[in-house]
Every structure is written in C-alpha cells, then in structure tokens.
Copies of this chain bind each other. A is one copy, B any other.
Amino acid sequence: MKYNNSPIGIFDSGLGGLTVFKEIRKILPDEDLIYFGDTARVPYGNKSKDTILRYSAEISKFLTGKGVKIIIVACNTSSSLALEDLQKEEKIPVFGVIEPGAKRAVEVSCGGNIAVIGTSATIKSRTYSRVIYEEIESLSEHEKGKFKNNFNFKIIEKPCPLLVPLVEEGFLNDEITKGVIAYYLDSVVKEKPSCLVLGCTHYPILKDLISEVIGKDIQMIDSGIETAKTIKCFLEENTILKDGTGMGNESFFVTDDPEKFKGLGEKFLGRAIKNVAVINLSL
C-alpha cells in the first residue's frame, strides 16, 4: 500500500468553504488540511470572471507552494468560473464543488425538476446547468429515460446574492434572513423541483431556515458532503491517503483579520479554530 503524507489544500473566498472543510474532516480525520480564506477580497460572487480567475490562480499558487497533494476549490463561484483554468495550470489534481453536487442532484431527482441556488456569478455562468446535463447524458439508457420522458423537465437556476452577506454578518437564525430566503425561493418552489442544490458553500449553514421556507418535500443537496465523498474515493483509488491515524494537522490562512475569521468560523465548524495566519497575496 502506498501513501502520500502531503496536506490537502482547500480554498474559498472567505468563510463559506469551512462547510466543505468540516465534511472533509468528518470522513478523512487523519489528513492534514490547509484552508485558505480570501477574507480581504470577499465576496467573489458579485465580481467578474477575470477577477475571479486572477484571485483563484493566486491562491492555487500559494497552496502548491505549501506542497499540497490536491486542491479543493471549496467555493462554487471559483468552481464555476476558474476550475478548468486551474486544472490546466496546476500539476496536481484540482477538484471543484459543482460536479459532486450536480451528480447527486441527478441521482435523487429521478427525472424531476432540479433547482439550483447560488451567487450571481455562479448562476450567470450557467455551469450548473451544463454539468447537470452532462451528468444526465452519462446515465444508463434506463435512467436517462426518466429525464427524457419528463417532457417538462427543467433546471431552475436562481441567484441569491444577499445570502452571503447575511451569513458573513452573522444573521444565521433571523427573521430578516428568513424573509430574504422566502423572497428568493417562493418562485422556485412553485416550479415543484424534486431537489434544491445549495450551490454556494455559505448556504448549508442556513439549512434549517431554507427548510422552513421550502418544506420537507424538496430534498436539499449539500455540495460539501458530496465533495468530501468524491475526495475520499479519489485518495483511496490513487493510494494517496495519509499514512497515519489520529486527527490530522490543520492550518488556516486568511488575507484579512484572523480574529473575525476565528469568531464566525467557529459557528461554521462548531468548534474552536486555531493556527490562523494572515497572508498578503499581493506582496
């Protein structure tokens, strides 16, 4: 059996990627993890493709400099717009959060409508629609038939730009946040989707509020959980798991104040965050 003891690199525009980090840690407790949050430039979701490409490339360069064995783009906006470029540029494997979520949505929907919510940049890129259609095409003829026989099949993509600021400001269980969720999702619910992809890593922390608005019949897909499963399979298949047991090391790099990151980050992780350092990428 071969092993690879290098760390896994995970990055996001800010705090949201911690929902992915948490799922990775849950099913890969031994691995060393390096998290990068670009908190001095957050949010990405309302910015242009060129800017997101540039920021994502800078962070990947930083992580490869730290000797990571794989990179996980734990940000839907970067995954939508920059993943292919990063995969071309980097010599190590780079994973996004779109494909695992899209694959799971196709599995659970069984031909029913699929809804996706995300930032403006993610939704505008139409990446989810493209990847969901690719996943459907890759199904067996029998499974594909379920979609082909639903002549009204549609993918409903809805940008929800205010949810990231609400989460970043700590409005996590609030009437205002519930009102904003209803404002965005009432029209989505009317399309009777079978599932709702939480296409932004900030959204899983709002699961309970979203559930109150959409009801119990629409299954929520958490990209973080699906991505963690994908990563575990990949490490196993390529025999690059870490050789060791016990909880792996964790280090965090941010571009703005580490104290704010620690404070709100603990709400994401459900435990204290240590080893946070500040990095100035433009130097």
Contact = CB atoms under 8 A, between A and B. Distances in A.
A48 interface: yes
A40 to B, nearest CB: 5
Enumerate the 7 nearest inter-chain pairs by beta-carbon distance, A residue then B residue, closest first.
Answer: A48-B257, A165-B165, A282-B282, A40-B51, A161-B169, A51-B256, A47-B256
Contacts of A260: 46, 48
Nearest to A41: B41
6 contacts: A48-B257, A50-B257, A51-B255, A162-B176, A176-B180, A281-B282
Chain A interface helix/strand/loop/mixed: loop
A168 interface: yes
A162 B166 CA distance: 7
A183 interface: yes
B168 A46 contact: yes
Interface string A270-283: 00000000001110
A171 interface: yes
A223 to B, nearest CB: 23
B51 A257 contact: yes
A279 to B, nearest CB: 12
A46 B50 CA distance: 24
A77 interface: no
Interface string A128-171: 00000000000000000000000000000000011001101101
A258 to B, nearest CB: 9
A188 to B, nearest CB: 17
Contacts of A51: 40, 255-257
